[in-house]
Amino acid sequence: MSVLYAYFIAPFAEFEFMRRALVGSFALALGAPPVGVFLMLRRMSLIGDAMAHAILPGAAIGFLIAGLSVFAMAGGGLIAGFLIAFGAGLIARATPLKEDASLAAFFLISLALGVTIVSVKGSNIDLMNFLFGSVLAIDDPTLFLIASITSASLIVLAVIWRPLVLECVDPGFLRSVSRTGGPAHIAFLALVVMNLVGGFQALGTLLAVGIMMLPAVAARFWARDLSTMIAVAIAGAAISGYAGLLVSYHANLPSGPVIILVAGVLYVLSVLCGPFGGLLWRALPQRHLEA
């Protein structure tokens, strides 16, 4: 019993930074995966990636102006994310370039710009923290920021749920009955940016998108209806956070990447064993049904 306690609970009972990291991970696990599920279902899985890169220069400018202030960096990240989301949308509408192409152009420019800006003022360690986060260094203001973003995200998602679902399933019908499709789409992009900014402190710009997408993509193999899929994604993200912190603590590995690696392991397991479309089930010799 005490061995179990020592392994699974003691790290969190003993160290405050572990507790903060755990609470932060759980808050992220509640907000980001539902957004990830919608990104996946709208075949926009890579958009999250592009947006994550896009927030880097904003956060870097915040850092340049105010140093390592959570709110300056988050504010900068939000502004940059929104600018690029709408810039890409605008260019897609005004030129023959499709939205994904202009996003690709934007995020590559942003990434280069962001890394340059961070390097001007900060050290290589700062740069590493920007790109891969520092979940063990979460302080009270950061925790507050993540919790606020998650709460806001869940509320907004509840409000735009119906138009968002309908825009995925049958956009033509939504257009024919209401004008909410456009505003819902914009609110949804805002949710993507917000949640990435929330994950930025803990996981960095490059890994924040991992806690959003990996559990969401894995959940597809465990559920056939949307609500269950989202619940599974949240649970998967929470497990990744807990297990990732634990493994990184015991094996003395960097926490952020290990959290995402655990999410990656869960993804691979889902692809193999998930009851809906898992590969192992296909390999098993099964007789077809009577009806």
Q: Is 161 in the site for another protein (CB under 8 A)?
A: yes
* Separation between Cα atoms, residue 20 and residue 137, nearest integer Å: 8
Residue closer to another protein by CB (options 35, 145) is 35
Q: Is 179 in the site for another protein (CB under 8 A)?
A: yes
Q: According to CB under 8 A, which one of 101, 168, 235, 269 is a site residue for another protein? A: 168
Residues 214-243 that bind another protein (CB under 8 A): 223-226, 229
Contact 189, 66 (CB under 8 A): no
Residue closer to another protein by CB (options 166, 259) is 166
Q: According to CB under 8 A, which one of 178, 275, 277, 280 is a site residue for another protein? A: 178
Q: Is 93 in the site for another protein (CB under 8 A)?
A: no
At its nearest, how many Å lie between another protein and the CB of residue 210? 23
Residue closer to another protein by CB (options 41, 115) is 41
Q: Choose one: 6-14, 135-143, 177-185, 201-209; the region binding another protein (CB under 8 A).
A: 177-185
Q: Is 186 in the site for another protein (CB under 8 A)?
A: no
Q: Is 45 in the site for another protein (CB under 8 A)?
A: no
* Separation between Cα atoms, residue 11 and residue 273, nearest integer Å: 31
Residue closer to another protein by CB (options 59, 166) is 166
Q: Indicate left, alpha or beta for 277 from its phi (over 0: left) and psi (-120 to 50: alpha).
A: left
Q: Is 98 in the site for another protein (CB under 8 A)?
A: no
Tokens 């803990």 found at: 202
DSSP class per residue in the chain: -HHHIIIIIHHHHH-HHHHHHHHHHHHHHHHHHHHHHHHHHTT-HHHHHHHHHHHHHHHHHHHHHHSS-HHHHHHHHHHHHHHHHHHHHHHHHHSSS-HHHHHHHHHHHHHHHHHHHHHHHS-HHHHHHHHH--GGG--HHHHHHHHHHHHHHHHHHHHHHHHHHHHHH-HHHHHHH-S-HHHHHHHHHHHHHHHHHHHHHHHHHHHHHHHHHHHHHHHTTT-SSHHHHHHHHHHHHHHHHHHHHHHHHHHT--HHHHHHHHHHHHHHHHHHH-TTT-HHHHHS--PPP--
Residue closer to another protein by CB (options 165, 265) is 165
Q: Is 123 in the site for another protein (CB under 8 A)?
A: no
Residues 131-160 that bind another protein (CB under 8 A): 159-160
At its nearest, how many Å lie between another protein and the CB of residue 42? 9
At its nearest, how many Å lie between another protein and the CB of residue 35? 16
Q: According to CB under 8 A, which one of 19, 26, 46, 175 is a site residue for another protein? A: 175
Q: According to CB under 8 A, which one of 10, 23, 41, 66 is a site residue for another protein? A: 41
Q: Which amino acid is at 246?
A: L
How many residues touch another protein under the rule CB under 8 A: the total is 26
Residues that bind another protein (CB under 8 A): 41, 159-163, 165-166, 168-173, 175-180, 184, 223-226, 229
